[in-house]
Every structure is written in C-alpha cells, then in structure tokens.
Amino acid sequence: MKKLLIAYHSMTGGTEQMARAAARGAAEEAAVEVRLLRAAETGPHDVLDADGYVFATPENLASMAGLMKDFFDRCYYAALDRINGRPYAALICAGSDGQNALRQLERIATGWRLNAVAPALIVCTHAQTPEQILSPKQIAAVDLERCYEIGAALATGVALGVF
C-alpha cells in the first residue's frame, strides 16, 4: 500500500487544522495509507517509508517554525538521494506573510529533489497583537477546503503513480 506522510508543527493550532484537513482529503483515497505526524515525532524512517509528502509549518520570526526545521535537520542527509522525484505539497500558516517559511521549505525540498505537485498554500490568520498571535487559531472553512483538496489530489496521484 502506498503511503502519504503529512508532517507538521503547530503552536496555536492553525497549521494543525490545515494538516488535519489535508489528511481528511487524502483519506478519501482508500489505496493510500495516510500518516499524520507532528514534526517533532517524525524521523528519517518515516520519510524514507513514504511515497509522497505534505509539509505544513507556521511562519515564526520570518522563518519556518524551529521544530519543523529540526525535523528537516534530523532527516535531510538520511534521506538525501533516496527520495528523489517523490511528490510533495507545502502548507504554510502565517500571520501576514509566510513567504520566507515557504522559500526555506522549497529550498530543502529542492535539495531532496522532490517534485512540487500542487501550488503551495499560504493561509494568513491576520493576527496582529501579541495577544492575538498567541491565541488559538480558527482557520476559515474555505481555506481548510483548499487543504483538503491538496491532500486529496496528492493521495490520488500517489495511488495512481502519476507523479
């Protein structure tokens, strides 16, 4: 059975909702096993074992979240040249920007020779004050639907072997 790994980090819940929506979409494809894992609990074996990936991270301090970076740091060389050409999609949850986190993620994915099979999705929560930024997030249904569709498309392509 083909496997789709969804690795994510989330502090105030926004990215987690996006990752879970992608997982629900991917689960529509019965021929693919979906593994939804927090980045801190994801290791090289999980990366090598998967046929495709969704990477989901907040942007914090103009960077991908530290624990997402830690995941890539721990897995990068163990997986280098062993996952070439596999498909992936990127989901970013940001306050108002998200571009730097996406750029970093895409550079790593390029190093891994992964194949971006869906346009990256940046969802902004528009939190401005420290209180808003630290509060639990609620991602709009329309954005969760886009995450769902990305997960579904990725899983379908993995199942059919079209990527």
Ligand X SMILES: Cc1cc2nc3c(=O)[nH]c(=O)nc-3n(C[C@H](O)[C@H](O)[C@H](O)COP(=O)(O)O)c2cc1C
Contact residues for ligand X, defined by CB under 6 A: 10-16, 58-62, 93-98, 125, 127, 133, 137
In the complex with ligand X, the residue whose CB is nearer, 14 or 87, is 14
Q: How far is the CB of 129 from ligand X (least distance, A)?
A: 11
User: What six digits make up the tokens of 9?
Assistant: 């980090």
In the complex with ligand X, the residue whose CB is nearer, 79 or 94, is 94
How far apart are the C-alpha atoms of 151 and 68, rounded to whole Å? 19
Q: How far is the CB of 70 from ligand X (least distance, A)?
A: 15
Q: How far is the CB of 137 from ligand X (least distance, A)?
A: 4
Please, are residues 111 and 75 in contact by the beta-carbon 8 Å criterion? no
In the complex with ligand X, the residue whose CB is nearer, 11 or 27, is 11
